[in-house]
Amino acid sequence: MKFCPILFLSLLSSTVGAVTMQHVCTSQYVAANLPANGTILGISIDLSSVTAGRIDAIDGNSRLSACDVNFAYTHDGFDRTNVNYWLPSPANFLNRYVSTGGEGWNITENNSSLPTGIEYGAVAGTTDGGFGGFDVSSYEVWLNGNGSINWDTVYMFGYQAIDELSQIGKFLTKSFYNVSDSTKVWSYYDGCSEGGREGWSQVQIGSDLDGAVIGAPGMHFSFQQIQHLWSQFVEYQLDYYPPYCELEKIVNLTTEGCDALDGRVDGVASRTDLCMLHFNLNSTIGKPYSCSETAEIPNFMPYIPAQNGTVTAQGVAVAREILSGAHDNLGRRIYMSYQPTAQFQDAVTSYDTATGRYGSYFVQQSAQWVEIGLNLLNDDIGLDSFEGVTRDTFRDWIATGYQRYQDSLETTWPDLTTWHKAGGKVLHYHGKSDPQVPTSSSVRYFESVRKTMYPNISYNQSISELNDWYRLFLIPGGAHCGANSLQPNAPWPETTFATLIDWVEKGIQPKTLNGTVSSTGAQEQICGWPLRPFWTNNGTDFNCVYDQRSLDTWKYELNAFKMPIY
Ligand SMILES: *[C@@H]1O[C@H](CO)[C@@H](O)[C@H](O)[C@H]1NC(C)=O
Ligand SMILES: *[C@@H]1O[C@H](CO)[C@@H](O)[C@H](O)[C@H]1NC(C)=O
Ligand SMILES: *[C@@H]1O[C@H](CO)[C@@H](O)[C@H](O)[C@H]1NC(C)=O
Ligand SMILES: *[C@@H]1O[C@H](CO)[C@@H](O)[C@H](O)[C@H]1NC(C)=O
Ligand SMILES: *[C@@H]1O[C@H](CO)[C@@H](O)[C@H](O)[C@H]1NC(C)=O
Ligand SMILES: *[C@@H]1O[C@H](CO)[C@@H](O)[C@H](O)[C@H]1NC(C)=O
Ligand SMILES: *[C@@H]1O[C@H](CO)[C@@H](O)[C@H](O)[C@H]1NC(C)=O
Ligand SMILES: *[C@@H]1O[C@H](CO)[C@@H](O)[C@H](O)[C@H]1NC(C)=O
Ligand SMILES: *[C@@H]1O[C@H](CO)[C@@H](O)[C@H](O)[C@H]1NC(C)=O
Ligand SMILES: *[C@@H]1O[C@H](CO)[C@@H](O)[C@H](O)[C@H]1NC(C)=O
Ligand SMILES: *[C@@H]1O[C@H](CO)[C@@H](O)[C@H](O)[C@H]1NC(C)=O
Ligand SMILES: *[C@@H]1O[C@H](CO)[C@@H](O)[C@H](O)[C@H]1NC(C)=O
Ligand SMILES: [Ca+2]
């Protein structure tokens, strides 16, 4: 017995059987439940930094309350990393812990990623990576004052900070709720985009987690950053800067033209692979377009005026070259591109109000990558011109990044034996119309893991072995880490964390994913790779089919490189 009955009753008024938040959500109680210095390699927690505050209703929902815990730790007295954990009330705690990640150059999304944990009775955590606060992006501290790379930043961003977040978080979770040694605390990771790359980093280092939900991972890091610049470079080479509306019209017409290829006319092009095989972009030439004006989104999208016109052959040539993907001067393939029906977001052009002309617009993150990550420019304005750049430069930029960051950011290690042997599960998803991370990069990695880990058995057998612990789902019509405004009838999986929990804790294998249609709220199933969705009986019967010719469209030989690219 932990409590004598009289003390028990006096402590608890309404929630009989559980300790209340008031009792445990204090900085003293939290500090007493943190790992002592040296328990986790190299980590010393600054106990004077611990704060704990109650959040009584998350997003206005009084069922969801949490203890908001913040503190800092150092590595043997050097540097300083801040972490933030939300802990569910003892009554709602379900023996779970989850680490979350960031996006872009950020390792965190602040506390916006934490409610998902609370909803499922999990302690949820996020870290600032040691970069100087939750409002500091990694790129701000990438370089030392003398211009050399700050490898502490790179490795913390690459994988170390999330691993430490998990280790401290799991310790705190057990200790805070008095979980007995014989009771398991299930531990997870959940993240998308850069957060998806961070998830793979944890799986690849064999982190001691039970499962990971990984969305649209920005893995193949050196390729991914340079890929963002490819669309702009195409416009530069073809010397045509299409109004964004023209490109969006091409996307809409592609979706329309490919809608029926999946066997159901519903405004969703669920089979971008068949689209690639059968749709001729030239059919969009001459079609009228018009758009209203769009406000600037700083660092992301320029101001776009109201515009109208007809799709031009030049616009189609730009679209075709973007979709064909980066090639070097000899025509050898450098990387894969987005699927047809993905918005041409990287190709957005800036509008000069003085001249009324469109020109190039550099995606800030990737311009910064060339400037800071590759450290190749001698000024501090970032990449803002392609003067002197050729297709071979693209290959060389990638080769430089690949070599420099192979063990920190590339995140494509294909041998997951440690993770697999420990029983870890991975639920990996990726929107089929993702305009920021090529969907095929997820397929490429899945296939690399399959071939690396199961080289000696048949294809079907290897898929079945792999699917016991790693499943990939391509989301029809899905955009980057969310539903697609251009295909509102497409499903988006809203319950991936719940699905992973069921898989890990109850052994329920997710053969398909639950998706919610944004326009209607209807539920639809999403097929697991390599099966593809196909409707028969005039769009009434849903099937997940095997289609070799379609599967072949997802495979690319990156023959501009002599190194293996996983
Ligand atoms: C752990 O180390 C930190 C930083 O060196 C120090 O501030 C703190 O007092 C130490 N904690 C304990 C319990 O010794
Ligand atoms: C979440 O973090 C922001 C700062 O990023 C803060 O203003 C806000 O109060 C926090 N929300 C809660 C519920 O703690
Ligand atoms: C996190 O919150 C801080 C304010 O505390 C804000 O400056 C910063 O932009 C936020 N970062 C993200 C990624 O939302
Ligand atoms: C990254 O963090 C910075 C600083 O907190 C913030 O201004 C920016 O919006 C964040 N970017 C993304 C993509 O979240
Ligand atoms: C650059 O600065 C870093 C951090 O201060 C230091 O460790 C490194 O030795 C310096 N490198 C050179 C070449 O001065
Ligand atoms: C854990 O045990 C301690 C000591 O018995 C007690 O004070 C505390 O309330 C317990 N915490 C929880 C969450 O049950
Ligand atoms: C593309 O389709 C979307 C969704 O139907 C619509 O909102 C948008 O205006 C269309 N864009 C163009 C350029 O026609
Ligand atoms: C598309 O049209 C261009 C001329 O505008 C032509 O050169 C090209 O061969 C056509 N492509 C296809 C696939 O029809
Ligand atoms: C097209 O845009 C011009 C201004 O650029 C405007 O005068 C004209 O009315 C617009 N036409 C249509 C059909 O929207
Ligand atoms: C595959 O077969 C080769 C040759 O028989 C053997 O050397 C290798 O260990 C096998 N690999 C695995 C992963 O079983
Ligand atoms: C998926 O949806 C079905 C109903 O369509 C439901 O029974 C099931 O609980 C859902 N699974 C998850 C993990 O949400
Ligand atoms: C097929 O379904 C569409 C609606 O999705 C309907 O308009 C059409 O009449 C159906 N065709 C047949 C042959 O039933
Ligand atoms: Ca369709």
Residue for token digits 């430490």?
164
With a threshold of 0.85, does the pTM exceed it? yes
Among the bound ligands, the one closest to the CA of 78: 1
Note the pLDDT of residue 377.
60
Residues 566, 563: Cα–Cα separation, whole Å:
9
Among the bound ligands, the one closest to the CA of 65: 2
Tell me the pLDDT tens digit for each residue of 349-369.
999 999 999 999 987 788 889
Note the pLDDT of residue 146.
87
> What angle do the packed helices 194-204 and 161-176 form, to 10 degrees?
80
Determine whether 430 is an active site residue: no
Rounded average pLDDT over 420-439: 98
Tell me the pLDDT tens digit for each residue of 159-185.
999 999 999 999 999 999 999 999 999
Indicate left, alpha or beta for 292 from its phi (over 0: left) and psi (-120 to 50: alpha).
beta
Note the pLDDT of residue 78.
87
Tell me the pLDDT tens digit for each residue of 121-163.
999 999 999 999 999 999 999 999 888 999 999 999 999 999 9
Which of 39-43, 207-211, 425-429 shows the lowest mean pLDDT across its residues? 39-43
Note the pLDDT of residue 7.
37
From the CA of 498, give the closest atom in ligand 11. 13
Pocket of ligand 11 (CB under 6 A): 495, 498-499, 502, 514, 523
From the CA of 74, give the closest atom in ligand 1. 4
Catalytic pick among 433, 434, 442, 462: 434
Tell me the pLDDT tens digit for each residue of 29-64.
999 999 999 899 999 999 999 999 999 988 888 889
Among the bound ligands, the one closest to the CA of 145: 5
% of the chain with per-residue pLDDT over 90:
88
Where exactly does CATH 3.40.50 map onto the chain? 190-219+411-530
Ligand 11 binding pocket mutation candidate from 120, 429, 501, 514 (most atoms within 8 A of CB): 514
Contact 25, 53 (CB under 8 A): yes
How many residues in total does the chain contain? Answer: 566
Tell me the pLDDT tens digit for each residue of 363-422.
778 888 998 899 766 555 568 899 999 999 999 999 999 999 999 999 999 999 999 999
Note the pLDDT of residue 18.
65
Q: How far is the CA of 112 from the centre of ligand 3 (A)?
A: 10
At 545, give phi and psi (nearest 5°). Answer: -115, 160
Contact 238, 314 (CB under 8 A): yes
Which of 32-36, 304-308, 428-432 shows the lowest mean pLDDT across its residues? 304-308
Among the bound ligands, the one closest to the CA of 218: 4
Q: Whose CA is nearest to atom 2 of ligand 1?
A: 44
Number of DSSP helices (H) and strands (E) in the chain, helices first: 18, 18
At 297, give phi and psi (nearest 5°). Answer: -110, 105
Catalytic pick among 190, 273, 480, 550: 480
Note the pLDDT of residue 25.
97
Q: Whose CA is nearest to atom 14 of ligand 1?
A: 37
At 126, give phi and psi (nearest 5°). Answer: -145, 155
Pocket of ligand 4 (CB under 6 A): 103-104, 106, 135, 137
Tell whether the model's pLDDT for residue 448 goes beyond 60.
Answer: yes
Convert 368-403 to b/e letters by CB count within 10 Å (16 or more is b).
bbbbbbbbeeeeeebbeebeebebebbbbbbbbbbe
Rounded average pLDDT over 296-320: 92
Rounded average pLDDT over 531-553: 97
Give the side-chain half-sphere CA count within 13 A for 128. 21
Tell me the pLDDT tens digit for each residue of 60-84.
888 899 999 999 999 988 899 999 9
Would you give the end-to-end CA distance of the chain in angstroms?
A: 54
Q: How far is the CA of 254 from the centre of ligand 4 (A)?
A: 32
How does the average pLDDT of the chain come out, rounded?
94
Rounded average pLDDT over 462-467: 98
Note the pLDDT of residue 328.
98
Tell whether the model's pLDDT for residue 208 goes beyond 90.
Answer: yes
Catalytic pick among 193, 231, 270, 442: 193
Tell whether the model's pLDDT for residue 14 goes beyond 70.
Answer: no
- Helices (H), ranges, 47-160: 115-119, 151-155
455 Cβ inside 6 Å of ligand 10: yes
Q: How far is the CA of 262 from the centre of ligand 13 (A)?
A: 5
Note the pLDDT of residue 63.
85
Note the pLDDT of residue 10.
36
**Sequence-separated contacts (24+) of 55-61 with Cβ below 8 Å:** 55/86, 58/115, 58/118, 59/115
Domain spanning 190-219+411-530, CATH class: alpha beta
- DSSP output for 461-516: HHHHHHHTTEEEEEETT--SSS--TT-TTSEE-S-HHHHHHHHHHH----SEEEEE
Note the pLDDT of residue 380.
58
At 9, give phi and psi (nearest 5°). Answer: -70, -35
Distances (CA, A) of 152 to 5, 122, 314, 372, 476: 51, 30, 46, 15, 39
From the CA of 106, give the closest atom in ligand 3. 13
Q: How far is the CA of 303 from the centre of ligand 12 (A)?
A: 42
Q: Which of 398, 369, 373 is nearest to 383 (CA)?
A: 369
Residues 12, 23: Cα–Cα separation, whole Å:
9
Which of 294-298, 337-341, 343-347 shows the lowest mean pLDDT across its residues? 294-298
Tell whether the model's pLDDT for residue 15 goes beyond 60.
Answer: no
Tell whether the model's pLDDT for residue 299 goes beyond 80.
Answer: no
Determine whether 262 is an active site residue: no
Determine whether 23 is an active site residue: no
Strands 523-527 and 211-215: unpaired
